[in-house]
């Protein structure tokens, strides 16, 4: 029903107005994630401002929005609770340094190995997480949740729901917001529909003096400029041991979420971002943020989708979002705190509907069972744990499925040539999954004294394959027969040392293999 109508035109007006819309949506998100991490709301707001500004200026994906995120906040909470917020700042600085290193080593290109089912699972899982995060706003803060005394107590769905007119009013305002966002573009695209919806619902609440939750009920966003701050933590090896595990996890989650969001925005806008540059941009942003009292951050899929939907395409959209957020903190906090949460919830619900890949339900019965399993698993693990773990699980399952399937494809045909040699032609990859089938096809006792194995239609893919060849060479040597390997690739020949003089390689006809170049990272 609801779909994003993507405006492909880059313009100053679109960037500025979409930046304002994004800034309004950033406020409750940054505050909420600060509470999740156990830090002051301004720590989250400063992170949203600085990370958003720096990545917009030097990152690899114009139009993508970065800031404080829930995926990072859930990792930070233990560090803050046990060691304090100053250790968090150290961890964020180290996190940034690790991300810069990843960019300089051009590791951003490896995001291309993430299979499409994992990408779908990532998008669907984050859409569900964003949706569940909004449910907190439908709760009564003075009551305990309905899942008390269960393992889900205090979870994201443990909400003490509002009752009666309060609930109906909130739902009504959310629905009005969503309808405006959906139908306004059919009438005019002069202004972002999300911004108009926020303004209209705010005017409705003020005009009729409706009693509903506003941003100020969550937290005060008033503050000054972020100031340079050296973390008050001992400069010692013990401190490094404390923060390093957290920094590695934060850096990994931040880069995975940022690079996958970059891929998503690439597909939507039909343009190309630069993964390695984004790694460096995220790293610089987090390093600076740690020195200015921010909790760090990464790309935000929800706000990025709002920006794209509102027409934001250039770097100015992210820069203006960050500067508008700073303006809210410095001078406009009394006004921003009066915006109804219902308007912002409605905006995020539209983001959820536009982000979720509804085509998943249509294709899930048509794709291989393994792909369907991966999609569902990644979505579920994203919701239950965190993004990085979910993507790693998805990639591992995909790799195992790939290995299992390709282990079936190795085929070996034997014949006798005019010289009286037994010739085996191997078709398919030789790797850990196929070595057992490979070794079963040879019988040194029955073969002629001279044996040739032709790898023209095969490739030795890993060390298990090399070990299998060495084992086969030893079997033929023990049988008193000579083994020749022809058309073996150059990289395999370099590694095949244990076979020694038993191996004869045809150099002239060796196939050559190419790998992805760093220049496209």
Over the stretch 427-442, which tens digit does the pLDDT of each residue have?
A: 888 888 888 888 888 9
pLDDT of residue 497: 56
Over the stretch 277-315, which tens digit does the pLDDT of each residue have?
A: 999 999 999 999 999 999 999 998 888 988 988 888 889
Over the stretch 332-388, which tens digit does the pLDDT of each residue have?
A: 888 888 889 898 888 888 878 877 888 888 888 888 888 888 889 988 888 887 667
For the chain, count helices (H), then strands (E): 20, 6
Most confident of 87-91, 385-389, 447-451, 453-457: 87-91
pLDDT of residue 516: 41
pLDDT of residue 129: 80
For tokens 């109804």, name the residue: 340
CA distance 305 to 129: 15
For tokens 């790898």, name the residue: 455
Helices in 274-340 by DSSP H: which ranges? 275-291, 301-309, 315-327, 333-336
pLDDT of residue 323: 95
Say which range, 33-47, 216-230, 315-329, 492-506, has the weakest mean pLDDT: 492-506
* Letter string b/e over residues 101-138, b meaning 16 or more CB atoms within 10 A of that residue's CB: ebbeebbbbebeebbebbbbbbbbbbbbbbbbbbebbb
pLDDT of residue 491: 66
User: Which secondary structure element, helix H or strand E, spans residue 428, and what is its range?
Assistant: strand 422-430
Q: Is 300 in a helix, a strand, or coil? A: coil
Domain residue extents for the chain: 12-378, 410-502
Q: What are the backbone angles phi and psi of residue 489, rounded to the nearest 5°?
A: -65, 160
Inform me whether the pLDDT recorded for 270 exceeds 70.
yes
Who wins on pLDDT, 492 or 124?
Answer: 124
Order of strands across the sheet that contains 482-486? 411-416, 422-430, 450-460, 482-486
Over the stretch 125-177, which tens digit does the pLDDT of each residue have?
A: 878 887 887 887 787 666 654 555 554 455 555 566 778 888 899 999 999 99
pLDDT band at 4 (very low <50, low <70, confident <90, very high): very low
Going by the DSSP 8-state scheme, the letter that residue 431 receives in this structure is S
- Distance (Å) of CA 510 to CA 63, 203, 496, 506, 507: 46, 74, 15, 7, 5
Q: What are the backbone angles phi and psi of residue 423, rounded to the nearest 5°?
A: -115, 125
Do the beta carbons of residue 249 and residue 388 sit within 8 Å? Answer: yes
CA distance 513 to 490: 9
Tokens of 244: 């390093």
Most confident of 27-36, 142-151, 512-521: 27-36
> Quick one: which of 155, 114, 422, 362 has its CA closest to 255?
114
Give the CATH architecture of domain 410-502.
Answer: 2-Layer Sandwich (3.30)
- HEC string of 103-163 equals HHCCHHHHHHHCCHHHHHHHHHHHHHHHHHHHHHHHECCCCCCCCCCCCCCCCCCCCCECC
Over the stretch 473-489, which tens digit does the pLDDT of each residue have?
A: 888 888 888 888 888 77
CA distance 173 to 342: 6
Who wins on pLDDT, 157 or 29?
Answer: 29
pLDDT of residue 519: 42
pLDDT of residue 518: 45
For tokens 């792909």, name the residue: 371
Q: Is 340 in a helix, a strand, or coil? A: strand
CA trace torsion 351, 355, 358, 360 (10° rounding): -160
CA distance 277 to 281: 6
Parallel, antiparallel, or unpaired for β 482-486 and 450-460? Answer: parallel
pLDDT of residue 288: 96
Is 372 exposed, middle or buried, given 0-12, 13-18 or 19+ CB atoms closer than 10 A?
A: middle
Q: What is the CA radius of gyration of the chain?
A: 28
CA distance 278 to 285: 10
Who wins on pLDDT, 494 or 423?
Answer: 423
pLDDT of residue 500: 53
CA distance 33 to 19: 20
Most confident of 87-96, 269-278, 407-416, 440-449: 87-96
What is the rounded average pLDDT of the residues 180-193?
84
CA distance 191 to 177: 15
> Quick one: which of 486, 413, 475, 483 has its CA closest to 443?
475
Say which range, 115-119, 194-198, 449-453, 514-518, has the weakest mean pLDDT: 514-518
Who wins on pLDDT, 5 or 405?
Answer: 405
pLDDT of residue 517: 42
pLDDT of residue 125: 85
pTM as predicted: 0.70
Do the beta carbons of residue 273 and residue 265 sit within 8 Å? Answer: yes
What is the rounded average pLDDT of the residues 494-504?
53
Other CB atoms within a 10 A radius of the CB of residue 389 amount to 17
CA distance 414 to 426: 9
pLDDT band at 29 (very low <50, low <70, confident <90, very high): confident
For tokens 């196939």, name the residue: 511
Inform me whether the pLDDT recorded for 2 exceeds 60.
no
Is 336 exposed, middle or buried, given 0-12, 13-18 or 19+ CB atoms closer than 10 A?
A: buried
């Amino acid at each position: 029903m609801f779909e994003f109508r993507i405006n492909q035109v880059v313009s100053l007006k679109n960037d500025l107005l979409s930046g304002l819309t994004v800034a309004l949506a950033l406020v409750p998100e940054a505050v909420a994630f600060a509470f999740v991490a156990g830090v002051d709301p301004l720590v989250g707001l400063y992170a949203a401002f600085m990370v958003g500004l720096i990545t917009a200026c030097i990152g690899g994906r114009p139009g993508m929005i970065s800031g404080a995120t829930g995926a990072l906040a859930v990792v930070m909470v233990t560090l803050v609770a046990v060691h304090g917020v100053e250790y968090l700042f150290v961890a964020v600085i180290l996190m940034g340094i690790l991300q810069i290193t990843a960019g300089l080593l051009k590791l951003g290109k490896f995001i291309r190995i993430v299979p499409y089912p994992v990408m779908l699972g990532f998008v669907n899982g984050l859409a569900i997480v964003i949706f569940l995060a909004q449910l907190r706003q439908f709760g009564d803060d003075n009551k305990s949740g309905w899942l008390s005394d269960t393992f889900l107590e205090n979870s994201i769905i443990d909400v003490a729901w509002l009752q009666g007119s309060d609930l109906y009013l909130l739902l009504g305002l959310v629905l009005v917001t969503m309808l405006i966002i959906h139908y306004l573009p059919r009438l005019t695209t002069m202004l972002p529909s999300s911004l108009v919806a926020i303004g209209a619902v705010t005017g409705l609440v003020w005009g009729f003096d409706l009693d509903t939750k506003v941003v100020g009920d969550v937290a005060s966003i008033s503050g000054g400029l972020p100031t340079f701050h050296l973390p008050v933590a001992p400069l010692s090896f013990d401190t490094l041991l404390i923060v390093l595990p957290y920094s590695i996890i934060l850096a990994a989650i931040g880069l995975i979420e940022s690079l996958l969001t970059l891929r998503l925005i690439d597909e939507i806008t039909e343009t190309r971002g630069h993964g390695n540059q984004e790694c460096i941009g995220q790293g610089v942003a987090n390093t600076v943020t740690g020195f200015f009292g921010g909790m760090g951050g990464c790309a935000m899929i929800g706000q990025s989708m709002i920006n794209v939907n509102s027409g934001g395409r250039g770097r100015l959209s992210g820069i203006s979002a960050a500067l508008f957020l700073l303006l809210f903190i410095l001078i406009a906090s009394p006004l921003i705190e009066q915006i109804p949460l219902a308007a912002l919830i409605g905006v995020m619900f539209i983001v959820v509907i536009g982000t979720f890949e509804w085509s998943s339900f249509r294709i899930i019965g048509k794709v291989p069972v393994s792909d369907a399993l991966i999609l569902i698993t990644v979505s579920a693990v994203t919701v239950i744990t965190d993004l990085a773990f979910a993507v790693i699980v998805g990639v591992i399952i995909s790799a195992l499925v790939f290995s299992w399937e390709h282990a079936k494809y190795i085929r070996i045909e034997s014949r006798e040539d005019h010289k009286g040699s037994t010739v085996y032609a191997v078709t398919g990859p030789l790797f850990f999954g196929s070595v057992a089938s490979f070794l079963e096809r040879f019988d040194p006792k029955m073969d002629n004294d001279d044996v040739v194995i032709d790898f023209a239609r095969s490739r030795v893919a890993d060390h298990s394959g090399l070990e299998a060849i060495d084992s086969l060479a030893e079997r033929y040597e023990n049988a008193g027969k000579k083994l020749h390997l022809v058309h073996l690739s150059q990289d395999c020949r370099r590694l095949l040392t244990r076979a020694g003089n038993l191996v004869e390689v045809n150099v002239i006809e060796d196939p050559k293999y190419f790998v992805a170049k760093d220049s496209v990272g």
